[in-house]
Amino acid sequence: MNLASWLTRSGLSHPHMPAAALGPRVVMTYGELALRAARLAGALRDKLKLQPGDRVAIAAKNAPEYLTLLYAVWHAGCAAVPANAKLHGAELGYILEHSGARICFASKGLDADIAPHAPSSLERMIVIGGAEYDALFAADAIDVVPCAGDELAWLFYTSGTTGRPKGAMLTHRNIAIASYAYGAEVDPVTPGDAILHAAPMSHGSGLYIMQHVARLGVQIVPESGAFEPDEIFALFDRWPNISMFAAPTMIKRLVDSAAECNANNIRTLIWGGAPMYVEDCLKALDRFGPRLAQIYGQGESPMTIATLTRQDIAERDHPRWRERLASAGKPYACVDVIVAGADGQALPAGETGEILVGGDVVMAGYWRNEAATEESLRGGYLHTGDVGAFDAEGYLTLKDRSKDLIISGGSNIYPREIEEVLLTHPAVREVSVIGRPDADWGEAVVAYVVGAAAAAELDALCLARIARFKRPKDYVFVDALPKNNYGKILKTELRALDARRK
C-alpha cells in the first residue's frame, strides 16, 4: 500500500515521460525521479539510520525537488512532515518538536530561520541542493519498504489560525482514496497532462501530486517561486491540458489581471480552502469558460468532503444554477456526509447543523493529542466545525464556521449570506462580516470592506436583499483584510482588530 510504489511503477513503465518541470523546462523524467527517490531512500536508511515510521520534515518552498523528497521519505517507509515555508522560524520549530522529526530538509535560507528554534530531538538539518544533500544520492537505491494502508504517510499540520497547529495523521490509505476521488470526480488525469503548483506543495496543491504521478502527469513549479498572474498565464500557454489548485483569492487575481492566456489549454481550475462568492465565480466563468471546479475538504479529510463539478458550474440553463454555484456541491462517493443537530443525529434537508464526515479518507487522528482526537472523531464521524445544510437535491451549502456564527437578538446570522450580497456592489473588492459584542443584542453585525462604496449604498443593497436584522450596523473600510499564508481571511484577527478600535 506504500504510495511510493506508484512512482516506482511509473518510472519502470515510462522512464522517458516528463515528470517535473521548472517553468517551461522539463527537469526530470519519470525514470530519473524514481531513481533519485530510491537512492535518497537508501541514504535515509543506511547513512542517516532512519527506521520505518520515523518522521522526516520538509520545510521547503515549491520546487521540482519536492517530489524527490516526498517520495524518498515514503520509499524508505518513513512519514513525511511537509511544513509551509512561509511560516516563522519559531512556528517551524514547534512543528519539528511536536512531530519528533529526526531529519529536516530545508530550502536554502530557511535553515537559518529554523536553527535558533530547532528542538534537541532534531538530529540533522540538510539544505536542499547543498553539498551534503547532493552527496546523499551516491547511496545505493533500495526497494520500496512495504507499508500497511493504516500506517502514517503525511503528518498534515493545520494552519493554526486559532492557536497551535495540530498534526492530522494521514495514512497511505487516506491519501490513496483521496487521490482516486480526485481523478474520478474532480479532474480526470491522462498521461502527459500537467498540474501547476502555484499554491503550497506542503498543503492543498501537494495533495494532488499523487494522482498525477500514478497517471504520468507533469508537475510544474513556477520559476519565480511566487504567484504572479503574468507567469501563470504564460505557463498555461506553454503546457496544454493544464490544471491548477488555488485559493479563491488567487483565482480572483487571475480574473482581475490584464494579461492574456489561451484558456483552451486549461483543463481545470480548482479552488478550495474557502468558498468562492457567487459574483467572483461568475466573473471567473466568464473569463475562463467551463473549466472551473470547487472542492470542499479539510486537512483532516484531505481535500475530500464535497465537490462542485465542472458540469455543475457550467450548467447555466439549470433553473437552480445560481443556488448551486453558492453550494459546496455534492459529497464525494467515498464519504458519508451528514448535517447533524446537537445530538449528533442527521437532520433533514433544509435544516442547518454541523457537517460530519465518515469514511476511509478521514484522518486516523491528531498526532500526540488524544483529547483532540476523541473530540473531533466522536461517534465515528469527523466533526468539521463547519455549519451547513443539504438541499432537496443533495447539494451541500456551507453557512459558516460554527465559531463565526453571529447571534444577534437571539437570531442566528451567517456572515457569508451578507458577504454575498455586499459583493454584488461593483465598488466592493473584498468583504468580511463579523460579530461585535453588543450589550443590548449580544452581537452586532459589522462589515469590513475593501473598496470605495458608500456605506449608505451598501445599507440600501442589504435592505433590498436580506432581512433587516441581518444588515450590518457598522461598515469599516480598510485597505486590505488580514489573511494567512493560504489566502484565508482571518476572522479571529479581524475580531481582535475590531476590539482594538473601540
Nearest to 142 by CA among 68, 61, 45, 225: 45
Q: Which residues contact 81 (CB under 8 A, 6 or more apart)?
A: 55, 56, 57, 58, 95, 96, 99, 101, 154, 155, 157, 167
- Is residue 231 domain-resident? yes
Query: Cell numbers of 425, please?
Result: 456592489
- Is residue 446 domain-resident? yes
Judged by average pLDDT, the poorest of 153-157, 178-182, 416-420 is: 416-420
Residue 327 has pLDDT above 60, yes or no: yes
pLDDT digits (tens, 9 = 90+) for 180-230: 999 999 999 999 999 999 999 999 999 999 999 999 999 999 999 888 999
Domain boundary among 335, 356, 390: 390
426 and 319 within one domain: no
Domain boundary among 390, 413, 428: 390
Residue 411 has pLDDT above 80, yes or no: no
Terminus-to-terminus CA distance in the chain, angstroms? 56
Residue 160 has pLDDT above 60, yes or no: no
- Is residue 367 domain-resident? yes
- Is residue 41 domain-resident? yes
Mapped to the 3 state alphabet, what secondary structure does 370-383 carry?
Answer: HHHHHHHCHHHCEE
Residue 502 has pLDDT above 80, yes or no: no
Q: Which long-range contacts (CB under 8 A, 24 or more apart) does 342-347 make?
A: 344/378, 344/379, 344/381, 347/389
**Which CA distances in Å does 98 have to 164, 294, 366?**
10, 32, 11
The average confidence (pLDDT) of the chain is: 93
| Residue 165, domain extent | 4-390
Rg (CA), the chain: 23
Mean pLDDT score, 384-398: 93
496 and 356 within one domain: no
Query: Cell numbers of 483, please?
Result: 489573511
176 and 312 within one domain: yes
435 and 292 within one domain: no
- Spatial contact of 415 and 433, defined as CB atoms under 8 Å apart: yes
Domain boundary among 338, 358, 390: 390
- Is residue 395 domain-resident? no
- Spatial contact of 413 and 406, defined as CB atoms under 8 Å apart: yes
Residue 453 has pLDDT above 70, yes or no: yes
410 and 351 within one domain: no
Residue 268: band (very low, low, confident or very high) from pLDDT cuts 50, 70, 90: very high
410 and 336 within one domain: no
pTM of the model: 0.84
332 and 428 within one domain: no
- Is residue 399 domain-resident? no
3-class SS shares of the chain: helix, strand, coil, % to 5: 35, 25, 35
Q: How far apart are CA 53 and CA 502, in angstroms?
A: 51
Nearest to 400 by CA among 381, 382, 419: 419
Domain total for the chain? 2
Q: How far is CA 90 from the centre of its chain?
A: 22
111 and 140 within one domain: yes
Looking at residue 162, what is its pLDDT? 45
501 burial type by CB count under 10 A (0-12 exposed, 13-18 middle, 19+ buried): exposed
Beta pairing class for 79-84 and 25-29: unpaired
Residue 160: CATH number of its domain: 3.40.50.12780
- Is residue 400 domain-resident? no
376 and 415 within one domain: no
pLDDT digits (tens, 9 = 90+) for 14-68: 999 999 999 999 999 999 999 999 999 999 999 999 999 999 999 999 999 999 9
Write out the E strands in 359-490. Answer: 382-390, 396-401, 406-408, 411-413, 428-438, 442-451, 474-477
142 and 30 within one domain: yes
Q: How far apart are CA 442 and CA 410, in angstroms?
A: 8
> 248-256 vs 278-288: helix axis angle to the nearest 10?
50
Q: How far apart are CA 50 and CA 55, in angstroms?
A: 9
Instruction: Give the percent of the chain with pLDDT over 70.
Output: 97
429 and 354 within one domain: no
Looking at residue 486, what is its pLDDT? 59
pLDDT digits (tens, 9 = 90+) for 333-345: 999 999 999 898 9
- Spatial contact of 34 and 12, defined as CB atoms under 8 Å apart: yes
DSSP bridge pairs for 126: 105
- Spatial contact of 144 and 4, defined as CB atoms under 8 Å apart: yes
DSSP bridge pairs for 408: 411
Is 11 or 468 the better-scoring residue by pLDDT? 11
Beta pairing class for 266-271 and 218-221: unpaired
Residue 441: CATH number of its domain: 3.30.300.30
Cα angle: 214, vertex 216, 218; to 5 degrees: 120
Query: Cell numbers of 460, please?
Result: 440600501
Q: Which residues contact 56 (CB under 8 A, 6 or more apart)?
A: 44, 50, 73, 78, 79, 80, 81, 101, 102, 103, 104, 105
pLDDT digits (tens, 9 = 90+) for 66-113: 999 999 999 999 999 999 888 888 889 999 999 999 999 999 999 999
Query: Cell numbers of 80, please?
Result: 513525511
Looking at residue 501, what is its pLDDT? 81
- Is residue 141 domain-resident? yes
284 and 259 within one domain: yes
Residue 323 has phi, psi (to 5 degrees) of -65, -40
Residue 161 has pLDDT above 50, yes or no: no
